[in-house]
Amino acid sequence: MQLRYKRAALVELQVAFMMKSKGKGVREISRILRRSPGTVSKWFNNYKYPRKRVWFRLSACKRARYVYEQMGARRHIVRRTPIRDVRVRDYVIEQIADWESPETISATMEDAIGTRVCFKTIYNLTKYERGLKKYLYEKGKQRRQKVVSRRGKFKKAAPKKRSIHTRNKEANERLEIGHLEADLMITKRGGSCAILSLIDRRLRRKWFCKIHDTKAKTVQAYIRAVLVQLPPDQRKTLSLDNGAEFAYSEIIKLEKWFPGLKVYYCDPYKSYQKGAIERANRDFRRYYPKGTDFADVSKFEVKRVQRILNNKRLKCLEYKTPMQMLQLAA
């Protein structure tokens, strides 16, 4: 049976201070009073008298009385919410529940409600209000270590493939539109459907397509369907990993169909070299976590998530959305 903590009585404190004045140790006092040594130690150390010289002249009973009164005063301290304005607090809670980061909320709330609070205050609110921490993006997320290489024979890419290390400066530094990355999100074990994802490195504009299998020919057809919708100046490079779904024999046909497009491949087991699409997949997994059977997800729902993510304000875009950036670039 778990024992509940009982507040120290005045008599206990008087006995403790009298025994201490006679040179008794903390453990001996705790054994007589049947209290934890840590609790007894707190009585002596956590309640300092404001005037140190006067404290030494006080008797043991007066010291015990002072500690007893301080312990009672601390019990009535009321913890107040970091944001007292109800209108501001309701707005912040609504935005957090919509998966907005505290920094984004702080930077854009003045245009919405005419006032602004620091993002640190919003973080403190998530500690005060129950149920808000689960909406923080990095809450409980563990960092994955970069995998260098697992098999010696795959350290180098196939000779025909164009390495991502030869990609131009405009693509690496996100200086212009038209540099794309693609990846595939697999359904749960035993399923056949998947989600093909693409992103523009400069605009952070995302595309998600539900496909019925993971064959390279099917993936190539859906990538082609996305590229057809784009103007020629917005399809310059395409970066992929070395999965079987991006087989070189099928993907290389895209360069013939779209003049000016160049396909690049990451090093084996180094998918972090195309980090933009990996982050986009992570955003998509908020709505459909790992283990979801994509066969039960309709194409309309996939496009709904695509629309939500493309209209989300991003700090890297100076708190503009990808669609707003596309309109400015047009």
DSSP assignment string, 289-320: -TT--GGGS-HHHHHHHHHHHHTS-BGGGTSB
Distances (CA, A) of 27 to 31, 122, 284: 6, 44, 57
Q: Which two tokens stand for residue 197?
A: 């994802």
pLDDT of residue 329: 83
Q: What is the pLDDT of residue 140?
A: 53
CB atoms within 10 A of CB 303: 14
Spatial contact of 310 and 206, defined as CB atoms under 8 Å apart: yes
What is the structure's pLDDT at 2?
43
Residue 273 near residue 266 (C-beta atoms within 8 A) = yes
Q: b vs e for 160-174, b when ≥16 Cβ sit within 10 Å of the residue's Cβ? A: ebbebeebeebbeee
At which residue do the structure tokens 């007292």 appear?
84
The pLDDT value recorded for residue 183 is 94
CA dist., res. 11 & res. 234, Å (int):
81
The pLDDT assigned to 79 comes to 61
Our measurement of the distance from residue 205's CA atom to the centroid of its chain's CA atoms, rounded to an integer in Å, reads 20
- Can you give the three-state secondary structure of 232-290, one letter per residue? HHHCCEEEECCCHHHCHHHHCHHHHHCCCCEEEECCCCCHHHHHHHHHHHHHHHHHCCC
Q: What is the pLDDT of residue 221?
A: 94
Count CB atoms within 10 A of the CB of residue 33: 19
Plot region of 200 (φ>0 → left; ψ -120 to 50 → alpha; else → beta)? beta
The answer to whether the Cα torsion of 99, 102, 107, 112 is positive or negative is positive
pTM of the model: 0.69
Q: Which residues of the chain have pLDDT under 70?
A: 1-5, 73-80, 138-159
Q: What gap in Å lies between CA 169 and CA 155, rounded to an integer?
A: 24
User: How far is residue 298 CA from its own chain's centroid?
Assistant: 27
Within 13 Å and on the Cβ side, how many CA atoms surround 48?
Answer: 4
CATH architecture of residue range(s) 159-329:
2-Layer Sandwich (3.30)
CA distances from 185 to 59, 195, 214, 217, 283 (A): 73, 5, 10, 16, 12
- Residue ranges of E strands in 117-251: 179-186, 194-200, 206-211, 237-240
Where are the chain's structural domains? 10-74, 86-135, 159-329
* Of 166, 159, 198, nearest in space to 182 by CA: 198
